[in-house]
Chains A and B, each alone.
Chain A
Amino acid sequence: MTEAIDLAGRTDIASQAKALCDDPAAFFEHSFTKMQSIDRDRLAALQREGLRQRFADLKDRVPMLKKLADAQEIAEMREIDDVVPLLFEHTMYKSYPPAFLEKGRFAEINKFLSKLTTFDLTGIDVSECQTIDDWMELMDRESPLVIMHSSGTSGTMTFLPISKHEWDKFGKTARVIALQEFGDDPSVMDEGGDFYVIYPYFRHGGSGHVRTCDLFVKYVSKTEERLLVPFPGRMSSDLLYLAARIQAAAAKGELEKLDISPVMMARKAEYEALQAEMPARLDAFFTDIAENYQGKRIFFWGAQNLLFNLVRIGQEKGLSRVFAPNSVIGTGGDSKNGVKMPEDWRQQVCDFIGIENSKMCYGMTEVKGWHKKCSHGHYHFCPWIIPFLLDPDTSELLPRKGRAMGRAAFFDLGSETRWGGFITGDEVTIEWDEPCGCGQSTVYAMDGIERLSAKRGGDDKISCAATEGAHKEAMSFLTSFQ
C-alpha cells in the first residue's frame, strides 16, 4: 500500500501532513491496514512536515514550550531530530509546588496548567472548589479540557491537559486499532453484532483509563446501556490523592504531620466503606456477566489484572468459552506495575472468553496512540507518533537506525493544544530498518519493554541515602514480620 492516499485532491506535503496531524483516523480512511501500510519514506516526510507545523503553531501559544525553546534558541524545526531538546520530561506535568494541591489552591493549578496548554484557564472561577473532585467536575464542565491525572504515587499528582477535541480524536483512532486486524476491511468494525463493553471499575473519574470509558461508549458499544460497570459512580480523585499522600508521608516518617481537611476525613470513611464492599460488588458483577451475557459479543480493553479477575471468577464457576468468538479483548503491553500474572494467563483468558487471540498494545496516557502487537510479536508504532530512543544516562539521541535499545521518547503529532513531545521512563528496543515479517510497514518495538527505574542501578546498590519507595517497601516488610 505505497500509493499516495487520496486526500480529496490535496497532494502537497504540507496539507497532507496537516491532514494526518488533524485527524489520523480520517487520513487513513479508518483503516488499520492503511494506517500500517504507509510507505516509510513518505511517512518520514509527513512526520517531518507535521512536526514543523506543530512547532510553528504551538511555540508561541504554549508558554512552557516557548520558554524552553527560547532558552535553547530554537526557532524552527527542520529535521525530526531537532525536537529532541524540546521533549518534555514526564516531571513537567507535576512540577507545581505540592502545596497547591495539598491546600486546594486550584486557581494556582489552573495558572500552572495554562502554561502547558494553548488555553488560558485563569479566567475560570474555581474559588468554590473545595476538593479535587469539585475542581475536576468544574473543569469538565467549563473548560475545553479533559484533564487526566495520575495516581500520584510520589505524593503529587500529574495533571495532563488534553482538549476534548484531542480526546475524541484519540477515540476515533482507538476504535480503528482495537477493532481491526492488519489486513481487515474497515467494515469489520460494524459487523458481527453489538458490543457489550466490560469495564470492571468506576464509570467516571479523572484518571486516563477511567476516562476511556466515555470513548468506549461513543465508539464501541454506541450506547451507555451496553457499558457494564460494577461501580456506576465516580472514582474520587481526592481519595486517590489522599492514599498517595498517606503513602508518601509514611515513607518520610511524617504521617502525624499530615494535614487532612474535615471534608477529606468524611470521604476517607466513605472510601473505607467502599473498599470493604468492593470484593463482594466485583464478585456479583462478574457473576452477573458470566451468567447473563453468555454468547454476547464483549469488548474489554484495560489492565491485565482486572481482566484476569473476571477470568478467575468465571473459572471458579467452571465456565469456559463463555462469550461470542468475535469478542475483542485487549490489554496494555509489557508489565509495568509489577502485578504477578500466571505464565499462561493469556491462554487462560482466551479459553475463558472463547476467542482465538487477545490483543496487546503498548501505550501511555501522555501519548495518544496504541501501538499494537503484531503476529510476529512486535509493537508497531502509530504513524502519527514519532518514536525516539535516548541514551538512558545522558538523554542524547541515539541514531535512528539498526536495532537499538534506550529510553523511549515520543512526539505525538495529534497533540494540537499542548506540546506532543514526551520522554518516558520506559526502556524500549526499536528495530529501525528491518521490515517486519507481518507485512506492516511501520517501525516497531521489540517485546520486553521495561521500566528503567526498576531495571537500572538494581536493588543491590547500597547507599545509606535510600530512595523513598525502597524504604517504604522495607518498612512494610518489617511491620508485617512476626
Chain B
Amino acid sequence: MGMEEKLDVAGAGRQLPIASLIIRGEVISDNLIEVGGRGGDLTFLTPDAHKYLDRLPLKNPAHMADLYRLKFDDILDYLEELGTRLDVADNEHLARARDLSYLTAPTTPPLVDASYADLKSKFDRAVMREMADKMIGIPYLEGWVEEERLNGLRLGIRCFGARTLHVIAGNSPTISAATIIRNALLRSDAIIKAPSNDPFTAIAIAQTMIDMAPDHPLTRHLTVGYWRGGDTAFEERLYQPHYVEKIVAWGGFASVKHVTQYIQPGLELISLDPKRSASIIGEEAFASEEGMQDAAVRLASDIGAINQVGCVNARVVYALSGTDEAGIERLNRFGELVYAHIQTLPERTSTVAKRYDRELKAHVDALRLQDEWYKVIGGKGGEGAIIVSQMADPVDFSTSLVDRTANLVPVDRIDDVVGAVNAYTQTVGVYPESLKAELLDVLPLHGAQRFVSLGFAVQASNAQPQDGLELMRRMGKWIINEMRSPEKGQAPWLP
C-alpha cells in the first residue's frame, strides 16, 4: 500500500486532499500535482498520471487469463463481499470520499449521502445476477453456448471481456459502482478515468477492494486515476488499440471530443451521449383537483430528484392543458403546485441547489419581467423555478435548464407534444399511464429512448438497456466458434 494521507477537509486550504492513483492493486500517492480549483471547486492533489502512463494499460491481453479461472459465482462472491464493505459507517476510504464529494459533487451533502447509502444495494447478489442474466445471459459469460443454425452450422458463442477504458460521469457516485460491477461481471480489464467533479468515489471502492483481496484477479484488473480530459499528449499514447479495445465514454464534452480522435480500427467507442428528458402531461391531469395534485407531485419529483443534474430529469414539460385563456390559467395553477411540491421533496431526493447556475438565473430573471408571455414561479433565491410559457412555445434556453428549473408548455393536441422529443431525448415521463398508448410507437421515431410513469424518472434497474443501447452486450466481445464437417454440409473444397 502507498502512503496513507491524512484527511483534513476543514483545512483544505493548507493540506490539500489527495486522490491517489490505483494501478492494479497498488495505491500510488507520489509525484503529486495540483488539480481543480476552478470556479470555486476543490483543489486536490493527484499523482501526475504522465509519470505512470506506461503502467496504466494491461499491455499483454493474455494476462486476462486469470479472470477466466474464476467461476461466475466466484465473481458474485467477490462483489457481494465488496458490497458489505461499502458502508461509510465502517469504511474510512468511503467516508473520506463522501466527505470530499461534498465539496466536488454537483449536488448537495444530503444527496451525496443518499447516493453513498445506495451504493451497497448495487452489490446485492440477486440484483447482480439478474443484471448479468437479463443483459447478456450468464451461460454466455460462463462458457461457450452451443447453438445450431438452419444450414447445419453448429455454433459456439461466448462473451469475452475486453480491455476497456471508462470515462465516467461525475453527477452520481453510483456510476463508479456500476462501472466496477459491469467490468467484473464481464471479466474485463478496466481503466477508470475519474471525473473532476467526483474524483474520489471510484478510488475509494478500489482501495476497499485492495484491503479486501489485494491479489484477487478482480482487484488486479482495475486501474483508477484522474487526468485532465483532453490532455492530448497523454491520451494519444494511452488510447491505442494495442492497450485498449473499448472506450466507454459518458458524454463529458472535452473527454468525448478528444476520445473520438483516437477511434480507429481495433478501438471502439461506446458513447453514452449527453441526453435530456421531457415529460408529457395529459388532459386528465387538469380534469380534477386530485388529478392535478397527483400529476404535480409526480412531476416535481422528476424535475427535482438528484437536483436535476441527471439526464433523466424532466426539463421541458408539454401539458395538454389547452392554450386558451382557461387552459393557460389551469397550467399556471398547476405550475404553482409543481413548484410547491418541489420545495417539499424529501431531503434525500432533492435540496436547494448547491450553486444556482448564474447564466440560467439571468434568463429566469429576464423572463420574470416578461409576464405577458411567461409566468415565472419562484427562482428569486436558488431554490429553483417553474417557467410557465403563456403560449405553445418553449423557452429558447430549454437545453440549459438545471438546478430544479423547468419549463411548462401548454398545447392543445397530442400531436403538438412531438415537439418535446428529439434526437437527444432520453426519458419521457407520461401522465396518466393510459396516455402512453398513443405515444409508445410514435415518439421513439423522434428520438425518445425510455418511457416512464410520471414521477419515476430517476428510478431504473441496471438490468435494462440504457440510453437506447445495450451497454453490457457492447462491452463484451462476442466470439464465435463455428463447427462444421464435410459430412454435414457442402465443403468448399469439394467439387
Q: Which size class do A's interface residues fall under?
A: 35 or more
Choose one: A98, A453, A456, A467; the contact of B399 (CB below 8 Å): A467
Choose one: A95, A252, A455; the contact of B422 (CB below 8 Å): A252
Chain B 349-360, CB within 8 Å of chain A: the 1/0 string?
000000100110
Interface status of A338 (Cβ within 8 A of chain B):
no
Q: Do residues B362 and A471 form an inter-chain contact, with CB atoms below 8 A?
A: no
Q: Do residues B256 and A474 form an inter-chain contact, with CB atoms below 8 A?
A: yes
Q: Do residues A89 and B365 form an inter-chain contact, with CB atoms below 8 A?
A: yes
Interface status of B176 (Cβ within 8 A of chain A):
no
Instruction: Give the shortest distance, in Å, between B253 (CB) and chain A (any CB).
Output: 4
The answer to whether A392 and B257 touch (CB under 8 A), given A68-B369, A97-B389, A462-B252, is: no
The answer to whether A92 and B309 touch (CB under 8 A), given A99-B393, A253-B423, A463-B170, is: no
Q: Do residues A95 and B363 form an inter-chain contact, with CB atoms below 8 A?
A: yes
Interface status of B171 (Cβ within 8 A of chain A):
yes
Q: Bound complex: CA of A155 vs CA of B394, how far in Å?
A: 13
A98 to chain B: closest residue by CB:
B396
Q: Bound complex: CA of A393 vs CA of B38, how far in Å?
A: 12
- With a cutoff of 8 Å between Cβ atoms, the chain B residues found around residue A82 in the complex are none
Q: Do residues B228 and A481 form an inter-chain contact, with CB atoms below 8 A?
A: no
Q: Bound complex: CA of A226 vs CA of B243, how far in Å?
A: 64
Q: Do residues B228 and A466 form an inter-chain contact, with CB atoms below 8 A?
A: no
Interface status of B192 (Cβ within 8 A of chain A):
no
Q: Do residues A156 and B396 form an inter-chain contact, with CB atoms below 8 A?
A: yes
- With a cutoff of 8 Å between Cβ atoms, the chain A residues found around residue B359 in the complex are 425, 453
The answer to whether A473 and B253 touch (CB under 8 A), given A458-B39, A459-B230, A462-B197, is: yes
- With a cutoff of 8 Å between Cβ atoms, the chain B residues found around residue A425 in the complex are 359
Interface status of B220 (Cβ within 8 A of chain A):
no
- With a cutoff of 8 Å between Cβ atoms, the chain B residues found around residue A455 in the complex are 38-39
Q: Do residues B309 and A460 form an inter-chain contact, with CB atoms below 8 A?
A: no
Interface status of B442 (Cβ within 8 A of chain A):
no
Q: Do residues A460 and B39 form an inter-chain contact, with CB atoms below 8 A?
A: no
- With a cutoff of 8 Å between Cβ atoms, the chain B residues found around residue A361 in the complex are none
A461 to chain B: closest residue by CB:
B197
Choose one: A112, A462, A468, A478; the contact of B255 (CB below 8 Å): A462
- With a cutoff of 8 Å between Cβ atoms, the chain A residues found around residue B310 in the complex are 464-465
Most buried by B among A64, A395, A466, A478: A466
A contact residues vs B (CB 8 Å cutoff): 64, 67-68, 88-92, 94-99, 112, 115, 154-156, 248, 251-254, 257, 392-393, 395, 423, 425, 453, 455-468, 470-471, 473-474, 477-478, 481
Since A91-B363, A91-B365, A95-B370 are in contact, a sample of 7 more A-B pairs with Cβ atoms closer than 8 Å, ordered by chain A residue number, is A64-B369, A95-B363, A97-B391, A453-B359, A462-B169, A464-B250, A473-B253
29 residue pairs bridging A and B, Cβ less than 8 Å apart: A64-B369, A91-B366, A96-B370, A96-B373, A97-B374, A97-B389, A154-B397, A155-B396, A251-B399, A253-B422, A254-B423, A393-B40, A460-B196, A460-B229, A461-B252, A462-B170, A462-B229, A462-B250, A463-B170, A464-B169, A464-B310, A465-B171, A465-B309, A465-B311, A465-B313, A465-B402, A466-B253, A471-B273, A471-B274
The 10 closest A-B pairs by CB, nearest first: A253-B423, A466-B274, A462-B252, A459-B254, A470-B253, A464-B311, A89-B362, A95-B366, A253-B422, A468-B399
B contact residues vs A (CB 8 Å cutoff): 38-40, 106, 167-171, 195-197, 228-230, 250-257, 260-261, 263, 272-276, 308-311, 313, 315, 355, 358-359, 361-363, 365-367, 369-370, 373-374, 389, 391, 393, 395-397, 399-400, 402, 419, 422-425, 447
